[in-house]
Amino acid sequence: MDLCKPVTDAARYDAIILGAGAAGMMCAAVAGQRGRRVLLIDRADEPGKKILISGGGRCNFTNLHAAPDRYISANPHFMKSALRRYTQEDFIALVDRYGIAWHEKTLGQLFCDGSARQIVAMLDEECRAGGVEIALGRDVSAVEHGDGRYRVTVGARTVEAPALVIATGGPSIPKMGATGYAYDLARRFGLKVIEPRPALVPLTLGGDEALFKSLSGVSAEVIAKCGKTAFREAALFTHKGMSGPAILQISSYWRHGQQIGVDFLPSQDSGWLVEAKRARPRAAFRTVIGAALPDRLADTLVERLGLHGEMGNLTDRALEQAERRLADWRFSPNGTEGFAKAEVTIGGIDTDGLSSKTMEAKRVPGLYAIGEAVDVTGWLGGYNFQWAWASGSAAGQAI
């Protein structure tokens, strides 16, 4: 793929898009195919690097259940318009048009059968179809605004356009070159930024709970809860604390100082331990608990509950207490594994300053922000790419 086309001599464009990631490529393709002259700039030497590593290399490119209630933002209504106008079905139709084979893994999550590279190649082809110029491996050294035009210095050249799109993503995974550049630029234009935090990130345990680290590698299906939010998926103990889809999901809702609750036996009905005592009074408590849990986890939980011996020798009250604890085991994480391990960033450019229809800054005509840079964060499972496609398309239709 010859992705690095030279920037041509003409310095004037209809739109300059900073960031050739998921959102920037979609935006460029849509605008280009509407006849706009678009320059797409990225400091990396190839576009869509996060797409390439996503979904374990198979890119979980959307989710069948994408809907506004699966996104977190200070304004829970902001994403509605864009998600409605560019849906998961629209992206699936595009993928189908390119003959890219895909499958549903679980919970509506759609992955390529082959490689994430197919998605990047598809977006690149869409950009080509729109005549988009792509400038890769070049740092933006200056952005200026005056006379209704944006002037961007990239490498040795200055280019200009009446529209500038911020699509440089969030600071998660800095070793891939991710930075807070979008926020700095947005602030320079007077936009507010909601405190960025790592999200979809493993939680760390310390103190008394550090004991659970000895379960590193053990996983179980649980319900993880934080406040009113709950996710039923796998949790995984790690040498630092907890991870796995259920924990990554709940991490986006967790704040320092809060507890999370874990239901280790989500399939059991209320009163099951007392019923088990009636049915099998000679069975060991450890045996009953262990029937539905991995061995090492059952050992640790039984140790912590301090209940031993035969079921028939334990009081109903003790069993009811144990059941309540197993259904809402409290952990007090002491932190997260940070931006280095976060799949996305929660927070970002405040949606209050943006049009939900076009992603244009309300008070800075011609300035747009899309994708992860904006304060819209999806659940795990293809929701973040769907936001990138939808917000990119919304801006691409407007510039």
Residues that bind ligand FDA (CB under 6 A): 18-24, 41-44, 49-50, 53-55, 59-60, 140, 167-169, 172-173, 177, 179, 181, 343-344, 371-373, 382-385, 388
Query: Looking at beta carbons only, is 360 or 372 nearer to ligand FDA?
Result: 372
Helix (H) or strand (E) holding 204: strand 203-204
Query: Looking at beta carbons only, is 16 or 297 nearer to ligand FDA?
Result: 16
Q: Residue 200: phi, psi to the nearest 5?
A: 45, 60
Shortest gap between Cβ of 284 and ligand FDA (angstroms)? 43
Shortest gap between Cβ of 186 and ligand FDA (angstroms)? 12
Shortest gap between Cβ of 208 and ligand FDA (angstroms)? 31
Tell me whether residue 9 is exposed, middle or buried, using C-beta atoms within 10 angstroms of its C-beta: 0 to 12, 13 to 18, 19 or more. Answer: exposed
Shortest gap between Cβ of 80 and ligand FDA (angstroms)? 18
Shortest gap between Cβ of 50 and ligand FDA (angstroms)? 4
Query: Looking at beta carbons only, is 159 or 301 nearer to ligand FDA?
Result: 159
The arrangement of strands across the sheet holding 140-146 comes to: 140-146, 149-154, 157-161
State whether residue 210 is helix, strand or coil. Answer: helix
Shortest gap between Cβ of 16 and ligand FDA (angstroms)? 11
Query: Looking at beta carbons only, is 15 or 326 nearer to ligand FDA?
Result: 15
Query: Looking at beta carbons only, is 170 or 353 nearer to ligand FDA?
Result: 170
Shortest gap between Cβ of 365 and ligand FDA (angstroms)? 22
Query: Looking at beta carbons only, is 153 or 259 nearer to ligand FDA?
Result: 153
Please, which residues have CB within 8 angstroms of residue 18's CB and are 6 or more apart in sequence?
A: 24, 41, 42, 140, 152, 164, 165, 166, 167, 168, 185
What is the chain's Cα-based Rg?
Answer: 25
Query: Looking at beta carbons only, is 71 or 385 nearer to ligand FDA?
Result: 385
Is residue 164 a contact partner of residue 16, using CB atoms and an 8 Å limit?
yes
Query: Looking at beta carbons only, is 42 or 323 nearer to ligand FDA?
Result: 42
Is residue 160 a contact partner of residue 133, using CB atoms and an 8 Å limit?
no
Rounded Cα distance, 210 and 208, in Å: 6
Query: Looking at beta carbons only, is 53 or 129 nearer to ligand FDA?
Result: 53
Pairing of strands 344-349, 260-263: unpaired
What stretches of 92-139 adopt beta strand conformation (E)? 102-104, 109-112, 133-136
Q: Which two tokens stand for residue 363?
A: 């008070």
Q: How many Cβ atoms from other residues are within 10 Å of residue 225's Cβ?
A: 21
Closest CA to 297 of 326, 322, 276: 326
The residue whose Cβ lies closest to ligand FDA is 21
Question: What string of DSSP letters covers 41-64?
Answer: EESSSSS-HHHHHGGGGT-EEEET
Shortest gap between Cβ of 85 and ligand FDA (angstroms)? 18
Shortest gap between Cβ of 173 and ligand FDA (angstroms)? 4
